């Protein structure tokens, strides 16, 4: 290497060292800008040194050029670091300029109705057991609503549900159970459906009754379904829905379209069974009517009761929502009052 080349390399080394010191020692943005102009400016020291590359003999020029570029990169990197560091430091040093405790700009918060959420959660659990969701008409014939379900029209069992008649043999369905018959007419077993929907009864609107209310019906029909499977499936649901520590009990009941029939109680979720107003001091809350599908229902829809068995159940999501959220009056669910819906959202 020649004299000129070597001395330029020395000059670049010094320039790099001094430049890095100048940048790192700048301390504020003004001094940093001065350092930048001094070293990296159009007429700065690096430009000056690079201008001298032309005087270097050709064979060393490449090496010197590379060195000059390396110095430039190093200085630029240092400059960028320092700029960032200084701006952070300045921001921190100056303290908050905004009172960020001021309220945020908010949007309206939407939400699902608590009954919808109960229905969805029930559905999810049974979907895991192979059930599919179907819906049916709210206006029904008396055949589907009563006759097909083994409820003779002139029978005390019909007293259990006071009916809105729209026409001689047309009613607002008193339960979602007519879908049992509709589904079994349309599909061969294995049938497993869950039917959410509204049902109607001539009850006056009071804290625990509504003339229209949600029900969710379940039906499972196949070969080889027995009471053991039925009870185990429902118990599985209870644990999933109400929690592992919830106890349940099956006790005899009566529905014309199931036999054996059972009502399912769960230990009171409010008092855990010790007795409180929610469970009327019994420690138990009834959540479900259920049972093995009555052979008469199979016969009504043309399914061989000697070959197929099954179970059916019905729940009132509104009542479950009331227990879950501690809602004392059923009417609150249907008023659409904003404060209520926002609480539940």
Partner 1 sequence: MNLSFNWLAELVDLEASFQGDAKTVAEHLTLIAAAVEKIEPVGEGLDGIVAARVLEVGPHPNADRLSLCKVDRGDGAPLDVVCGAPVIVKGALYPHVAPGGTLPSGFAIESRKIRGELSHGMLCSDIELELGRDKGGIMRLADDIVPGTSVGEALGLPDTRLALDLNPNRVDLGCHVGVARELAAPAEALRERDFGTSWDPAWRDGDDEASGAGLRVRIEAPDRCSRYLAAVVRGVRVGPSPTWLVGRLMAVGARPINNVVDATNYVLLEQNQPLHAFDLKTLNGSEIRVRAATDGEQVTTLDGQTHKLTSAASVIADRDRAGALAGVMGGLDTEVTTETVDVVIECAAFDPAAVRRTARETGLSTDASYRFERGIDVHAGEHALKRCVELILATAGGEAEAEAIRVGPAPTRPPVQKLRLSRVKQVLGLDLGRADVATHLEPIGLREVESETSGGGAEDVLQIQVPGWRTDITREIDLVEEVARRVGYERFPDADRRFRTSSVPEDESVGAAARVRRELVAEGLLEARSLSFMPGDHLGNRAIVAVPNPLSNEESYLRAAMVPVLLRRLEHNFSRRHRNVRLFEIGTVFDYGETPDQFREQRRVGVVMTGGRRPGHWSGPVPDLELWDIKGIAERLAHRLCGSLVTAGSEASDDPFLAGGWLAPDGFRVEKDGAIVGIGGLVRASAVDGPPWAAPVLAFELRLDAVEPVRHATYRVTSQFPSVRRDLSVTIPADVRAGDVEAAVRSVATDLLVNVRLFDVYAGEELGEGRRALGWAFRFRAPDRTLTDEEVESEMRLLSDALEEQFDAKVRSA
Q: What is the total count of residues that contact partner 1 (CB under 8 A)?
A: 96
Q: Please, which residue, 41 or 211, has the CB nearer to partner 1?
A: 211
Q: Buried (b) or exposed (e) across 74-101, using 16+ Cβ within 10 A?
A: ebeebbeebbeebeeeeeeeeeeeeeee
Q: Are 155 and 193 in contact (CB under 8 A)?
A: no
Candidate list 27, 51, 65, 111; residue touching partner 1; CB under 8 A: 111
Q: Is 29 in the site for partner 1 (CB under 8 A)?
A: no
Candidate list 61, 231, 239, 324; residue touching partner 1; CB under 8 A: 231
Binding to partner 1 (CB under 8 A): which residues in 128-147? Answer: 128-135, 137-139
- What are the backbone dihedrals phi and psi of residue 343, each rounded to the nearest 5 degrees, phi first? -60, -40
Binding to partner 1 (CB under 8 A): which residues in 165-194? Answer: 165-168, 170, 172, 183, 186-193
Q: Is 153 in the site for partner 1 (CB under 8 A)?
A: no
Taking alpha carbons only, the member of 176, 149, 156, 153 closest to residue 261 is: 149
Candidate list 4, 61, 164, 271; residue touching partner 1; CB under 8 A: 164
Q: Is 49 in the site for partner 1 (CB under 8 A)?
A: no
Q: Are 293 and 74 in contact (CB under 8 A)?
A: no
Q: Is 98 in the site for partner 1 (CB under 8 A)?
A: no
Residues near 37 by Cβ (< 8 Å), separated by ≥ 6? 44
Binding to partner 1 (CB under 8 A): which residues in 189-228? Answer: 189-193, 196, 198, 200, 202-205, 210-212, 214, 220, 222, 225-228
| Sole window of 45-53, 65-73, 83-91, 151-159 interacting with partner 1 (rule: CB under 8 A) | 151-159
| Sole window of 8-16, 30-38, 57-65, 246-254 interacting with partner 1 (rule: CB under 8 A) | 246-254
Q: Please, which residue, 28 or 299, has the CB nearer to partner 1?
A: 299
The rounded distance, in Å, linking the Cα atoms of 313 and 17 is 85
Taking alpha carbons only, the member of 52, 48, 45, 38 closest to residue 6 is: 52
219: enclosing H helix or E strand: strand 212-222
Candidate list 86, 254, 271, 325; residue touching partner 1; CB under 8 A: 254
Q: Is 112 in the site for partner 1 (CB under 8 A)?
A: yes
Residues near 129 by Cβ (< 8 Å), separated by ≥ 6? 192, 233, 236, 237
Q: Using CA of residue 99, residue 100, residue 105, residue 106, what is the dihedral sign?
A: negative
Tell me the β-bridge partners of 212. 200
Q: How far is the CB of 10 from partner 1 (least distance, A)?
A: 47
The rounded distance, in Å, linking the Cα atoms of 203 and 211 is 5
Q: Please, which residue, 3 or 188, has the CB nearer to partner 1?
A: 188
Q: Using CA of residue 298, residue 301, residue 307, residue 308, what is the dihedral sign?
A: negative
- What are the backbone dihedrals phi and psi of residue 67, each rounded to the nearest 5 degrees, phi first? -65, -40
Q: Please, which residue, 5 or 310, has the CB nearer to partner 1?
A: 310
Q: Is 124 in the site for partner 1 (CB under 8 A)?
A: no
Q: How far is the CB of 208 from partner 1 (least distance, A)?
A: 15
**x/- contact string, 276-315, with partner 1 (CB under 8 A)?**
----x-x---------x-xx-------------x------
């Amino acid at each position: 290497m020649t004299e000129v080349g070597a001395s330029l390399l020395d000059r670049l080394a010094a320039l790099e060292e001094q430049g890095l010191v100048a940048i790192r020692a700048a301390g504020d943005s003004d001094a940093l800008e001065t350092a930048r102009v001094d070293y990296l400016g159009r007429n700065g020291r690096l430009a000056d040194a690079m201008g001298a590359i032309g005087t270097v003999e050709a064979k060393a020029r490449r090496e010197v050029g590379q060195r000059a570029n390396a110095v430039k990169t190093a200085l630029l990197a240092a400059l960028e670091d320092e700029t960032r560091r200084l701006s952070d430091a300045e921001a921190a040093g100056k303290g908050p300029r905004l009172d960020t405790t001021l309220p945020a700009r908010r949007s309206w918060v939407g939400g699902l109705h608590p009954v919808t959420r109960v229905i969805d959660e029930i559905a999810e659990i049974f979907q895991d057991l192979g059930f599919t969701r179907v819906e049916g008409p709210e206006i029904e014939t008396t055949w589907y609503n009563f006759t097909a379900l083994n409820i003779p029209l002139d029978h005390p069992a019909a007293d259990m549900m006071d009916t809105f008649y729209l026409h001689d043999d047309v009613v607002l369905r008193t339960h979602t159970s007519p879908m049992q018959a509709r589904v079994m007419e349309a599909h061969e077993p294995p049938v497993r459906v869950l039917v959410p929907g509204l049902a109607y009864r001539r009850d006056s609107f009071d804290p625990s009754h509504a003339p229209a209310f949600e029900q969710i019906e379940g039906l499972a029909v196949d070969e080889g379904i027995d009471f053991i499977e039925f009870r185990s499936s429902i118990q599985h649901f209870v644990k999933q829905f109400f929690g592992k520590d919830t106890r349940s009990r099956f006790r005899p009941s009566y529905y014309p379209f199931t036999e054996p029939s059972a009502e399912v109680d769960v230990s009171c979720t409010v008092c855990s069974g010790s007795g409180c107003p929610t469970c009327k001091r019994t420690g138990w809350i009834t959540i479900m009517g259920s049972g093995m599908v009555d052979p008469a229902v199979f016969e009504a829809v043309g399914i061989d009761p000697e070959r197929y068995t099954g179970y059916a159940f019905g729940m009132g999501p509104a009542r479950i929502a009331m227990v879950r959220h501690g809602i004392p009056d059923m009417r609150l669910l249907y008023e659409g009052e904003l404060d209520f819906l926002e609480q539940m959202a």
